Amino acid sequence: MGKKNARWIVDIGMVILLPLLMAYSLIGEAFHEIVGTVMLALFLIHLVQNRKWLIAIPKGRYNARRIFQTVLDLLLLVFMILQPITGILMSKHLYTFITSSISRCRSPPPATGTWSMAIRPRK
């Protein structure tokens, strides 16, 4: 499989999983946690596949458009990492071995979910 195909498969996978994750209350908690875990894996692969973009951040000149897009992408990156971490901390199914030792908090995943939706439509 070529690198381009591998990137394409990961990207399409994330496009399919995102609406499923946003439909949290429709798909059920346990399924959400499984899909969210797959999404996290795909996102980490996506970061490795596109590491050149990260490496290029300090390079070159910044015009208004590049500043805007880079800030949006970095916000998205932060949310895409916080989302599964806060989700795992609140897990009731897959990660109970973690949550059983920590008191359960509410609200970070919905908050980050809403904000990552707000900044997502870009291209």
Segment lying near ligand HEM (by CB under 6 A), choices 4-12, 44-52, 62-70, 106-114: 106-114
Candidates 39, 49, 51, 48; CA nearest to 80 is 39
User: What are the two backbone dihedrals, phi and then psi, of residue 11, each rounded to the nearest 5 degrees?
Assistant: -65, -45
Q: Distance between CA atoms of 35 and 12, rounded to whole angstroms?
A: 14
Q: Binding residue for ligand HEM (CB under 6 A) from 46, 75, 95, 115?
A: 95
Candidates 33, 48, 47; CA nearest to 83 is 33
Note whether 34 and 55 are within 8 A (CB): no
Q: Distance between CA atoms of 25 and 110, rounded to whole angstroms?
A: 11
Binding string, residues 41-80; x marks residues near ligand HEM by CB under 6 A: ---------------------------------------x
Closer CB to ligand HEM, residue 5 or residue 100? 100
25 binds ligand HEM (CB under 6 A): yes
113 binds ligand HEM (CB under 6 A): yes
Note whether 90 and 105 are within 8 A (CB): yes
32 binds ligand HEM (CB under 6 A): yes
Residue ranges in contact with ligand HEM by CB under 6 A: 21-22, 24-25, 32-33, 36-37, 39-40, 80, 83-84, 87-88, 90-92, 94-95, 106-107, 109-110, 113
